[in-house]
Amino acid sequence: MSEMIREVRVTTFKRKGIHSHIRGLGLDKDGKPKPIGDGLVGQLEAREAAGIIVQMIKEGKMAGRGVLFVGPSGTGKTAIAIAIARELGEDTPFVAMDASEIYSSEIKKTEVLMQALRKAIGVRIREFRLVYEGYVKEIKYRVPKSPYTPYMMVPREATITLATKDDQMTLNVGQEIASQLREIGIRKGDVIYIDAQTGAVHLVGRAEVEGAKTYDVDVVKKIEIPKGPVKKEKEIVRTFTLYDLDLSLALRKASFFSIFGFVSEREIDPELRRQVDESVKKMIEEGKAELIPGVLFIDDVHMLDIESFSFLSRAMESEFAPIIIMATNRGITKIRGTDVESPHGIPLDLLDRLLIIPTRPYTADEIRQILRIRMLEEEIELKEEALEELVKIGTETSLRHAVQLLEPSRIIAERKGRKEVTKEDVREALRLFMDVKQSVAHVKKYEESFLR
């Protein structure tokens, strides 16, 4: 089941901006947290605990369980969850969502969750495919002038010579493959393979061969010239998510017209998912595929309602389940959709299966260090007094608010023709932008005056 499927990156980050400085958990070999490491500062116990979770995930010991980060706003719950994703590596799917995303108007709540769950499960598929592989010795495009788009250089055909240490082959390829070659920017010396059945072109790396240009900074990795014949059976390993497989099957089954219906409905038929599950199971039994359970991160989890919680509980028990990591800053609160109060607004039966990791407010020193890291990340220069002002805001309102004021402060300084941000710039930014507590109080004031 691979024809329609294209390779997809399985890691997705929402709200990447304010956490872009985080590269991992900053632990040493023994799993102990460094005071500062991988962009993270302090919060030592939570980081050590998160490191243990990473190990449990890698060893497959987290099945049927979940993690809950609990702590006040701006204490790094989302930051540490993202660090977990970085530690798990590229191949492990990590899907981040905000609980409030389920209240979209177009799709059912449980469907939103189902899609997120399936995006968080990877399937590594191994197959042998007939390919042409070698380094590019020669490539020529034939580009006709198009009467409709005279500026667009769309190749109609290409002639490409692929070579290995032992063999060489010249292929004439049509428009489909020629335009892929052009799009990827294939040049002499690139090692590529072309799938003989699908025509998909893959760049493997670059070999050092005569006549090939080299650059000082190259993003393509250097590799040896391949050996053996150009045309051969090659074992190819690709990772998809269950969601990718659902979509590709749906598209393959859809007729021309129902494709549009499908897209506008945006709900996937459960029967179709069952078929995907069956064929994945079969591939696993035959040793052609492996399951890679990933992580579904649900932020502000107290926003889920009772229906969604029971759906998640059931999902955690199913055969194909990702690890669920949640975060909340609420204490005892009502479970949405009920009159029942519960810790963190989460039903007790689900709470029973969660490992809880607390996060604690930062000291002024830690806030200062985090802001320094963000200054480097965003390339913003602050006067000492400006930094101190932000540290004060971080301690009094929230760290998140302080982090978010950095860029507006920079712009305010820039408009006054300065590169370096002063205390006044920060104060002005503070006057213009509210933190969440303030903004809630702000609308509440008006709501009350409307009700009267």
What is the contact surface with ligand ATP in residues (CB under 6 A)? 18-19, 22, 39-43, 71, 73-79, 327, 329, 370, 399-400, 403
Residue 43 makes contact with Mg ion by CB under 5 A:
no
DSSP state of 335: P
* Euclidean distance between the first and the last CA atom of the chain, given in angstroms as a whole number: 63
Is 78 an interacting residue with respect to Mg ion (CB under 5 A)?
Answer: yes
- Which pair of tokens denotes residue 378? 């965003």
Residue 370 interface partner, choices ligand ATP, Mg ion, none, CB cut-off 5-8 Å depending on type: ligand ATP
Q: Is 308 in the site for Mg ion (CB under 5 A)?
A: no
Please, what is the minimum distance in Å from the beta carbon of residue 435 to ligand ATP?
10
Strands 40-41, 36-37: pairing kind = antiparallel
Bridge pairing between strands 323-328 and 66-70: parallel
- Closest contact distance (angstroms) between CB of 342 and ligand ATP is 19
> Smallest distance, Å, CB 55 to ligand ATP?
20
The residues with which 67 forms a beta bridge, in sequence order, are 325, 355
Which residues lie below 8 Å from residue 396, measured CB to CB, with a gap of 6+?
A: none
3-state secondary structure of 83: helix
SS3 letters across 191-209: EEEEECCCCCEEEEEECCC
The answer to whether 124 and 237 have CB atoms below 8 angstroms apart is yes
Q: By rule CB under 5 A, what count of residues binds Mg ion?
A: 2
Of 303 and 316, nearer to Mg ion (C-beta) is: 303
For residue 41, the minimal CB distance to ligand ATP (Å) is 4
Partner interacting with residue 62 (select from Mg ion, ligand ATP, none; CB below 5-8 Å by kind): none
CB closer to ligand ATP, 43 vs 92 = 43
Q: Minimum CB separation from Mg ion for residue 429, in Å? A: 21
* Among Mg ion, ligand ATP, none, residue 18 binds (CB under 5-8 Å by kind): ligand ATP
Query: What letter represents residue 301's amino acid?
Result: V
The span from the CA of 25 to the CA of 357, in Å, is: 14
- For residue 60, the one-letter residue type is G
Tokens of 105: 């108007």
Q: Which is nearer to Mg ion, 14 or 266 (CB)?
A: 14
CB of 122 to ligand ATP, least distance (A): 25
Nearer to ligand ATP, 23 or 202 (CB): 23
Nearer to ligand ATP by Cβ, of 42 and 122: the residue is 42
Q: Which is nearer to ligand ATP, 74 or 134 (CB)?
A: 74
73 binds, among ligand ATP, Mg ion, none (CB under 5 to 8 A by kind): ligand ATP
CA 18 to CA 32: how far, in whole Å? 25
Question: Considering CB distances under 5 to 8 angstroms, the limit depending on partner class, which of ligand ATP, Mg ion, none binds residue 76?
Answer: ligand ATP
Q: Which pair of tokens denotes residue 282? A: 């079969």
Q: Smallest gap, in angstroms, from Cβ of residue 438 to ligand ATP?
A: 14
CB of 77 to Mg ion, least distance (A): 5
Q: Where are the alpha helices (DSSP H) in 286-363?
A: 306-317, 348-351
Give the residue nearest to ligand ATP (CB): 76
Shortest gap between Cβ of 312 and ligand ATP (angstroms)? 20
Closest to ligand ATP by CB, 44 or 203: 44
Instruction: Kindly tell me which of 139 and 399 has the beta carbon lying closer to ligand ATP.
Output: 399
Q: State how far the Cα of 278 lies from the Cα of 251, in Å rounded to an integer.
A: 18
Question: Which residues are bridge partners to 323 per DSSP?
Answer: 295
Rounded to the nearest 10 degrees, what angle do helices 109-119 and 242-253 cross at? 110
Residue 272: contacted member of ligand ATP, Mg ion, none (CB under 5 to 8 Å, by partner type): none
Q: What string of DSSP letters covers 219-288?
A: SSPB-PPP-S-SEEEEEEEEEEEHHHHHHHHHHHHS-HHHHHHHHHH----HHHHHHHHHHHHHHHHTTS
Binding at 393: pick from Mg ion, ligand ATP, none (beta carbon under 5-8 Å per type): none
- Residue 74 contacts which entry, ligand ATP, Mg ion, none (Cβ below 5-8 A, type-dependent): ligand ATP
- Both tokens assigned to 313: 């509980």
- The window from 74-82, 146-154, 156-164, 423-431 that contacts Mg ion (CB under 5 A) reads 74-82
Residue 403 interacts with which of ligand ATP, Mg ion, none, CB < 5 to 8 Å by class: ligand ATP
- With CB under 5 to 8 Å by kind, the binding choice for 399 among Mg ion, ligand ATP, none is ligand ATP
Q: Up-side HSE of residue 139: CA atoms within 13 Å toward CB? A: 24
Q: Could you give the CA distance from residue 281 to residue 174 in angstroms, rounded to a whole number?
A: 37
Residue pair 341/333 in contact by the 8 Å Cβ criterion: yes
In whole angstroms, the minimum distance from the beta carbon of 36 to ligand ATP comes to: 8
| Residue type at 390 in one-letter notation | L
Binding site for Mg ion (CB under 5 A): 77-78
